[in-house]
Every structure is written in C-alpha cells, then in structure tokens.
Amino acid sequence: MNAALKIFSTKGYSPAVLDEVAREAGIAKGTLYLYFQDKEDLFCSTIMNVIDKLISLMREKIDDTMNPMQILRDIAFIQLSFFSRNREFFGIFQTLHNDLLLCSHKQLLRRLMERRQELIDYEHELVERGKRQGLIRQDIDTAEVVHCYEGMVMYSIKEMGCCEAHARELNLKKKISALMKIFLQGVSTDAKQSDIVHRGVERPVVRELQRKKEK
C-alpha cells in the first residue's frame, strides 16, 4: 500500500502503471494481481486504506466520555496532525479532484461518502449532546453548526496541503486553539453584533416573503 500511495500521489492515476508500483514495492508485477484485480482496484484500496487509518486513529485517541467540545477539538487536531505527518496523502487526494476520478469511480465515491457521513453523524451527535448540556446555543440548527465546523477543519487541511512550507511552520495546537475559539465564540467583540447581523439577514427575507404574498 505504501508503494502504491507513493506512485499515485506523485504520478497521478492515469500516468501510473502497475510495473512502477511493483518496482517500488520490490515485488513482481504478478504478485499484485494476487491481491488486486487491476489498477483501479489498487487505487481504490489505497484511498480507503488512508481513510481507514485516520478513522482507526480517531477511535483510538478519542474518549467518548469527555466534554463534547473537547471531543470536537480532538477530532480537528487528529485530522490536521494526521495529514501533517503524512504529506503523500495530499497528493493522492489532489489526484482524486484534479483527474475527476470520483465521477468515474462510483464505488469509491460511495465508500468515501459512507465514511464521511459516519463522521458527520458523530459530530451531529456531539453538537446535540452539547446543546443538552447547555454548552451550545439551542437557537442554531445542529446541521448548520456541523457544516460550519466541518468547513473550518477542511479548509485548514487544504491550506496545509497547498503549501508545504506553511505545513512545516504550522503550530497545530495553536491552529486548533484559534479554530475552536472562532467556532465557539465567533469573531465579534460585541455580542450585540450577532443580533444586528441576524436582523440584517432576516429583514430582506421577510420583505421578500411579503412581496411574494402580495402578488
């Protein structure tokens, strides 16, 4: 798997050939066919191996009895540190998007979406738990809270992947601390600003509904 990860991350899917993977792994090409049907099967297995490693790490490190806010922080930290330590993973995921492989690899897309949904469902459960414990506001839809959290984490991962120099200088604990502070407290120094923003969004919506009703 490590040999396949290296070849796919550096060459991309289309230019990569099984001979290179076998040579990198130090085995005969025919040996690959004992475990994988073809290049597509090897590629899909390599991607899922990366995802499963990350999921296993989260299951190992996360204590589900902790404060839900601490768990959300740990989920973000584990993902960032995982990709920070494994630079080749960025290359293979970049290949997925650049070559539009998910459009043709329907089975891989389905498996990736299943894994992603498992994590989102768990984050949804954590937010609901936080609401019950009075740690998260009740007036914000849980799905929207999870969407914002996911967006912040995923952008941080992509940012780290786009610039290797940035990744080397990145202080993960500081990054996660800032991310969670923004997520939990927002960026405004005045709590009243949130009401102003809310009313500013709400009023045009109300006016539009009234206009449609009058028609």
Assess if residue 147 is contained within a domain. Answer: yes
CATH code (residue 206): 1.10.357.10
Show Cβ contacts of residue 178 under 8 Å, excluding neighbours closer than 6 positions.
none
pLDDT value at 202 more than 50 = no
Assess if residue 109 is contained within a domain. Answer: yes
Mean pLDDT of 140-167: 81
Residue 135 tokens, joined: 């740690």
Q: How far is CA 160 from CA 87, 157, 194, in A?
A: 10, 5, 30
Assess if residue 113 is contained within a domain. Answer: yes
CB of 7 within 8 A of CB of 20? yes
Assess if residue 85 is contained within a domain. Answer: yes
Owner of token pair 């936080």: 130
List the one residue out of 192, 66, 37, 188 whose CA is nearest residue 126. Answer: 66
pLDDT value at 2 more than 90 = no
- pTM value is 0.76
Assess if residue 13 is contained within a domain. Answer: no
- In terms of pLDDT, which residue wins out, 99 or 94? 94
Assess if residue 32 is contained within a domain. Answer: no
Assess if residue 186 is contained within a domain. Answer: yes
Number of domains in the chain: 1
Where in the sequence is the domain holding 91, given as residue range(s)? Answer: 49-214
Encode 168-184: b = buried (16+ Cβ within 10 Å), e = exposed: eebebeebbeebbeebe
Assess if residue 11 is contained within a domain. Answer: no
